[in-house]
A and B are shown apart, each in its own frame.
Chain A
């Protein structure tokens, strides 16, 4: 401690040691916590189901009403939530197909209640098997919690109520389609 640089070094790195122990305490105290998120997903309007020749696949587009109350997921060890809507369906070739249609990042408790009407899909539902006609599709809202201190994929979950959509029997393009 005889020199100003020695003292500055000591003060700063002692602080980082204190922060280390505080972070460990934060991680430990938030390991087990209960949450009750409530999610409602609904189809707002169906827009189109068509065949795209340029990449030889079927495309489905629609818009959703999303009502997700994720405020109970936040504790002091949550940096942000990654939330997405995924569609799951079965084809003749594969038992399980999952496609992410929409996602968002929730960074604080204030933004955690997602209330969206007529939200267009961010990503189109594209199927290369071309078996989407007359297919039943299950929509689920899921989330990943990114902690402040901890492993990245520590906690995740999904909505318990699954919304079902039935694809039309023939290709259709409604005037509400935004493409």
Chain B
């Protein structure tokens, strides 16, 4: 599953596009409907035109169209079953805790190579 081209029905670029597109379409048809209804002095026209906007934005944004799934996430390739890599950092967290009992860590995110939290890092 991780190595598939399309991970889901819609990728993040498509989701952002649908989010903005439906808001824009509904709002524009709402404004058009407001002025049309005011000119003709019938609120029914405002409702009908805004419903047309709802229909168009629902048609374009709700179903899983292929044009919204054009930017799939590029997942990393799956790692093989390498025993050395898995056992590498197992002992480190135990040792590091005794050292750091009284002092605070100086920089939290700067040194990526000095990983004391136990997250396994993959070597490229």
Q: Do A and B come from one complex?
A: yes
Task: List A residues at the B interface (Cβ < 8 Å).
Answer: 1-4, 7-8, 10-12, 14-15, 18-19, 21-23, 25-26, 29, 74-77, 148-149
Additional 14 contacts, C-beta under 8 A, given A14-B23, A25-B34: A2-B9, A8-B62, A11-B57, A11-B62, A14-B22, A14-B26, A19-B50, A26-B34, A26-B37, A26-B46, A74-B41, A76-B37, A76-B40, A76-B43
Query: Contacts A11-B57, A76-B41; is A1 near B34 (CB within 8 Å)?
Result: no
Among all A-B residue pairs, the 8 with the closest Cβ atoms = A1-B15, A18-B30, A76-B41, A15-B54, A76-B43, A11-B22, A7-B62, A148-B43
Q: Is the C-beta of B93 less than 8 angstroms from some C-beta in chain A? A: no
Min CB gap B57→A, angstroms: 6
Residue in B42, B43, B57, B63 with the greatest tally of chain A CB atoms within 10 Å = B43
A53 to B38, alpha carbons, bound, how many Å? 56
Inter-chain contact A1/B54, CB cutoff 8 Å: no
Query: Contacts A11-B54, A19-B50; is A1 near B19 (CB within 8 Å)?
Result: yes
How many A-B contacts are there with CB distance less than 8 Å? Answer: 72
Inter-chain contact A22/B22, CB cutoff 8 Å: no
Min CB gap A134→B, angstroms: 48
Q: Which residues does chain A contribute within 8 Å of B15, judged by CB atoms?
A: 1-2
Min CB gap B58→A, angstroms: 5
**5 pairs from A and B in contact (CB 8 Å cutoff):** A1-B18, A7-B18, A7-B61, A11-B22, A11-B62
Q: Which residues does chain B contribute within 8 Å of A25, judged by CB atoms?
A: 34
Contact of B62 among A4, A74, A75, A76 (CB under 8 A): A4
Interface string of B84-120 (1 = CB under 8 A from A): 0000000000000000000000000000000000000
Residue in A1, A8, A11, A148 with the greatest tally of chain B CB atoms within 10 Å = A11
Query: Contacts A18-B27, A18-B30; is A4 near B63 (CB within 8 Å)?
Result: yes
Inter-chain contact B37/A18, CB cutoff 8 Å: no
A22 to B47, alpha carbons, bound, how many Å? 9
Inter-chain contact A10/B19, CB cutoff 8 Å: yes
Inter-chain contact B46/A2, CB cutoff 8 Å: no
Q: Which residues does chain A contribute within 8 Å of B27, judged by CB atoms?
A: 18
Interface string of B9-43 (1 = CB under 8 A from A): 11000011011001100110010011001101111
Q: Which residues does chain A contribute within 8 Å of B26, judged by CB atoms?
A: 11, 14-15, 18
Q: Which residues does chain B contribute within 8 Å of A21, judged by CB atoms?
A: 30
Query: Contacts A19-B47, A19-B50, A76-B41; is A8 near B58 (CB within 8 Å)?
Result: yes
